[in-house]
Amino acid sequence: MADKITSPDQLLARAQKAQADLDLRQGRKDTQVTVHMGTCGIAAGARDVVATFMTELSAAGVTSASLHQTGCAGLCEEEPMATITLADGTMYRYGLLDKDKVHTIVTDHLVGGTPVDAYLIKT
Amino acid sequence: MHDLSLYLLDIIENSVRAGATRISVGVTVERAADSLEITVEDDGPGLPVTPHEALDPFFTTKKGKKTGLGLSLFRQAAEAAGGGLSVGRSADLGGAFVRAWMGLGNVDRPPLGDVAASIFTMVATNPEVDFVVDLADGDKRTSLRGSELPQRLPALVAYQEALT
């Protein structure tokens, strides 16, 4: 998961990067990445998932996606979860996320256009 | 939950989900009184239920769910640390008000955790919400608000480090 902030300098660096990437989170873009942050999601590590998406989207230069949060989706055992919604309304729900999985999802799905089947929640 | 910052994040998420556009967070330490208090208040519609129901783990306003654990877990943690939790209406903002208090030096008090990360997460994913964060450690007070929040988060880090 994302490294814990241990100094004001580290946080400032992250904050400045976030400011520079303000475009990422302004309004709703064609592609929306929504991290589920109900009690279950938070307890499972959703806060770090948000931070990792922020970092990975920025690092990959993805400007067509906006990052959002929402509550519990009723699949608590799959937390931390994120839902990717495309412009045509197609939704992909990923579960049991960690830093590495978020990296793969950003690289393969959001940049490459191929959903990561192995991490999709099968319902 | 590992630490207080995650409980705080959960309570803020409640406010966002309720449709609040202004959310005020307070963390107050009174070392002489051995007291740590965390408050969250908003301008949302307020609690749709009685405070008693809001703190019942088997009561929730969410459709399709049978439990609402956030507030009750926070209350349990606060009570275990010699404190408590109350909910009601915000006198300043008109919406919900949540106040948790506990013994600062109580051995069962969860660590404060990364409050800065919790605030930052909610600010980053909810740019339409106006956040205000008020910190107090005795007479030392800091207020972070609005668009300046991301740049001023180091003040929050310094605050939480002083309590670790």
Contact: B9, A37; criterion CB under 8 Å:
yes
| Residue A23 within a domain | no
Tell me whether residue A12 is in a domain: no
Residue A47 is nearest to which of B73, B121, B153, comparing CB atoms?
A: B121
- In DSSP notation, A57-68 reads HHHTT--SEEEE
Mean pLDDT of A109-115: 94
Residue A8 pLDDT more than 80?
A: no
CATH number of residue A114's parent domain: 3.40.30.10
Strand locations in A1-123 (E): 31-36, 65-70, 82-85, 91-94
Q: What percent of chain A has pLDDT over 70?
A: 76
Distance from CA of B151 to the nearest CA of A (A): 6
**How much is the pLDDT for A105?**
97
C-alpha span between B107 and B72 (Å, rounded): 20
Query: Is residue A111 included in any domain, yes or no?
Result: yes
The shortest CB-CB distance from B121 to any of A39, A43, A51 is to: A51
In chain B, residues with a C-beta closer than 8 Å to the C-beta of A5 are: 114, 116-117, 157
- Average pLDDT score, chain A: 85
Of B13, B127, B153, the CB nearest to A15: B153
Residue A38 lies in a domain: yes
Nearest to B154 among A8, A50, A70 (CB): A8
Domain ranges, ordered by start, for chain B: 4-162
- Per residue in B7-51, pLDDT (tens digit) is 999 999 999 999 999 999 999 999 999 999 999 999 999 988 888
Q: What is the pLDDT of residues B114-152, one digit of tens each?
A: 998 899 889 888 888 999 999 999 998 989 887 788 778
Chain B: nearest CA to A77, how far in angstroms?
Answer: 14
Q: How far is A7 from chain B (nearest CA, A)?
A: 7
Domain with A102, as residue range(s), is 28-119
Instruction: Give the highest mean pLDDT range of A6-20, B29-43, B149-163.
Output: B29-43
Judge whether A67 lies within some domain.
yes
How many folded domains does chain A comprise? 1
Size of interface A-B (CB pairs under 8 A): 86
pLDDT tens-digit readout, B54-88: 887 777 766 655 556 788 899 999 999 999 999 99
Q: Which class is B4-162 in CATH?
A: alpha beta
A77 vs A18, more confident: A77
Distance of CA A23 to the CA centre of its chain: 15
